[in-house]
Structure 1
């Protein structure tokens, strides 16, 4: 199999798993699991995928992560496009499976773990604050990724650290925006739910990318001497 196709296939599978198990946990058992349970569903999805597809593609499964790697020159422009297409396709496929599961049970499909803000969602923060929250959450997530992947000596624990950090940012973010930090993860459920999830999607496409770019800029600034 072509090396690039292997990487894109791995990213497709990884993003599908993240969306199906993370968003699926929120949609089908959120009341029983609570914030911590949902947060760990997302985090453990990353841990699991990191050790199986990490050696193939790096286990980005998130356009914001791929953007950071592009900016760090660890990913080519062509691969960046391929990764994002694969991630979006994986998120849509994961959401489609979740949608089919919920429909088969005769339940309403108004909740697929979609992100949102405003009245009726979480504590009801404004659009402006949702942008700020997602930038901050993504900054923390990407900054951690850059730090833990900066040394090969961390290789054995990299997947665990990244997965736990994703769970960490979810603990705060779930009650605010549902926690995106990942444009693909937000796009999948929004397509099937429509309504507010689709009209508010712009926040979860733009803010994570801004947070990622800021994290790269800060990391490079603070580690300039080390990189030299």
Structure 2
């Protein structure tokens, strides 16, 4: 139960911090945070919660990470569905809080503003195609899993995994915000899509399929490259 609560809290913080920076701060040019600030917000949210609650759950905060760690032999299959369920619940709860805050300003239209939802085609920030969006999400999620598996393996320097993982997520956002608004996390995508409008829900399938496919690919490669950690990552206690 502590592991599930930790995953809920960690995913809540990730969506509130990352998407909140995009919806509340980056929307105002005078804030000055821009793409770099939003990217750092996502990375810092993972970094801080990996330190805070990671020892309880493994600090997944992402269905693609949970599935990938299972494929890599780092996480038991029986824990996948409970983890994914609480991750989605945490993301939805954070999106709901963010929606209430954003609606506190008169004239705000969450759907018109996109609400930090992920998209392709007309809903890609840079107008990128479905194929470009899919390739971006698969490759970057695969690389994210490789960083996670390498940083938590026996070969890695102890104590630095949260920093490596948080910085990797920052880099991923710097690359892919213009393409898809960056998912690499189906829970993050699902949470805000509920408030962004019909188009976001209609395109949500890609931001489940591509990150999970990328997670599986990265996990398969990591299983060959890296030793297992001293204990299974986030195994339910």
Give TM-score scaled by structure 2 length: 0.89
Structure 2 residue 5 is the aligned partner of structure 1 residue 9 = yes
**2:233 alignment partner in structure 1:** none
Query: How many residues are paired up?
Result: 221
Aligned CA distance change for structure 1 residues 78 and 120 (closer, same or farther; 3 Å): closer
Q: CA deviation at 1:81?
A: 1.0
Q: Deviations over 1:60-79 (max 9, x none)?
A: 00001101111122222221
Question: Which structure 1 segments of 5+ residues have no match?
Answer: none
**SS at 2:110's partner residue?**
coil
1:139-178 equivalences in 2 (<5 Å)? 139-151=142-154, 154-178=157-181
Higher share of residues assigned helix? 1
Confirm or deny that 1:131 pairs with 2:134: yes
1:32-71 deviation digits (Å, cap 9, x = unpaired): 3111100000000011001111110011000011011111
Determine the C-alpha separation between the residues in 2 that align with 1:16 and 1:102.
Answer: 16
Classify the secondary structure of the residue corresponding to 1:42. Answer: helix
1:37 aligns with 2:37: yes
Specify the alignment match of 1:122 in structure 2: 125
- Runs of at least 4 residues off by over 6 Å: none
Q: Is the 8 A contact 1:98 1:112 kept in 2?
A: no
Kept in 2, the 8 Å contact 1:17–1:94? The answer is yes
TM-score by length of structure 1 reads: 0.92
In 2, Cα distance between equivalents of 1:215 and 1:94: 28
Once superposed, what is the RMSD of the aligned Cα atoms?
A: 1.5
Q: Does 2:110 match 1:109? A: yes
Moved more, 84-93 or 110-119: 110-119
Match of 1:193 in 2: 196
Secondary structure of 2:73 counterpart: coil
Partner of 1:25: 21
